[in-house]
């Protein structure tokens, strides 16, 4: 690999699944509304967030992705 090709190789910003999502990113990934996410949190049917500070919560991306993968198949 030439020096120019090596300069073009970019490592991923985060190892797969090892990063945190804010509520806006969770909404985009799940297509759920903010109120539905919080309702599911109260009923323990959605991954629990990680509290980083008094006013800051984030979700582990791998847990949200796993929740999505484990949703039941669409019934017709």
Residue 31 forms part of a structural domain: yes
Residue identified by tokens 């509520």 is 23
What domain range includes position 46? 17-67
How many distinct structural domains can be found in the chain?
A: 1
* Residues 38-72: tens digit of each pLDDT: 999 999 999 999 999 999 999 999 999 999 999 98
Measured in degrees and rounded to the nearest 5, phi and psi for residue 57 equal -125, 150
DSSP 29-46: HH---HHHHHHHHHTT-S
What DSSP state is assigned to residue 13?
S
Query: Cβ–Cβ contacts within 10 Å for residue 50, how many?
Result: 12
Residue 3, domain member (yes or no): no
17: left (phi over 0), alpha (psi -120 to 50) or beta: left
Q: Is the pLDDT confidence value at 14 over 50? A: yes
Instruction: Specify the pLDDT at position 74.
Output: 76
């Amino acid at each position: 690999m030439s020096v120019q090709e090596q300069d073009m190789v970019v490592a991923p910003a985060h190892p797969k699944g090892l990063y945190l999502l804010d509520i806006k990113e969770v909404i985009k990934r799940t297509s759920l509304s903010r109120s539905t996410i919080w309702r599911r949190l109260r009923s323990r049917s959605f991954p629990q967030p990680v509290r980083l500070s008094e006013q800051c919560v984030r979700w582990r991306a791998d847990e949200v992705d796993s929740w999505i993968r484990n949703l039941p198949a669409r019934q017709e």
